[in-house]
Structure 1
Amino acid sequence: MKIGIIQMQMSWTIEENLRTISEHVKSLDDLDVLLFPELALCGLA
């Protein structure tokens, strides 16, 4: 099992964060599990 832990830069909106998450998922599709920050789908505002 291959596991990836993503430490991503948080954006101000959910849409921007979701776009970043989607890009990571597409580029790391050979991994079985990806872990993201607990507030990855929350905006900073």
Structure 2
Amino acid sequence: MNLEITEMLCGALFGGFIFGIIVTAMIIILGIEVAQFIEDKKNGDE
């Protein structure tokens, strides 16, 4: 019984860790895309 709860907690922590990495990576990629888009608009206006 106790071992199952421990395994579930470890699985949830590990799954949450991977999910956090994926979300962080997506936010970084989006930030880079937006930054490049803004730079392109600035360069296009001049």
Settle same-fold status: TM greater than 0.5: no
**TM-score normalised to structure 2 length:** 0.38
Structure number with greater CO (CA < 8 Å, separation at least 6) is: 1
Structure whose alpha-carbon radius of gyration is higher:
2
The structure whose residues are more often helix, as a share, is: 2
